[in-house]
Amino acid sequence: MHTPSALILIANGTEEMELYCTSAFVPEPGSSLEDVNFENNPPFAKGSRGIRIVPDTYFSPHDSTPDNFDVLVIPGGAKGAQTMSESPAVQELVRKYLDSDKFVGMVCAGSLTALTSKLPKQSLTSHPSVRDQLKDSFEYSEDPVVCSGKLITSSSAAPHFLPGTTFPFALTLVELLCGKEKRSEVAGPMVFPAGTFA
């Protein structure tokens, strides 16, 4: 049986909670994208809260293709999201995944990559800080998680250093990749309060 895998891109300035919450549920986290400091041993990316993140591998467009992963995830964090949204290699990768009928997830300001990748007008959401940049080009939604075909976006609007909507985003990916039963199995041990998003 095929075990779904995810490629989660990180860069300096990536929001740590959006990375960690997603990678806790979906296997195969972490490929570094930008100027990690190779003078350190091991090299790392510095997250938006200053936490050093050591990736599993370093970004290679050749190795990051939809032939190798089932879902591409772009977390937020203002600086990290900007780096990814401005990367032609990431933009091309987003289009390749969607053209290959693979899932693409974008959290928070990561949704800016939908704009720079020139995706067609469709429903999406984002962190409120980038809403104005997206609302004219997309059918903007205030829902915490929005599924539009294979594009899954999440607002992740939360107080300082909280995961916000990242949990329902990650659980939605689990459900899409593995089914509702797996979602329930994964969510159960989390002991979410009754009536929350699990």
Active site residues: 18, 108, 127
Q: How far is CA 197 from the centre of its chain?
A: 18
- Pairwise CA distance, residues 176 & 182, whole Å: 10
Only one residue has tokens 């290679």, namely 60
Question: How far is it, in rounded angstroms, from Cα 76 to Cα 130?
Answer: 11
Amino acid identity of residue 184, one-letter, is S
Per the CB < 8 A criterion, the answer to whether 159 and 112 are in contact is: no
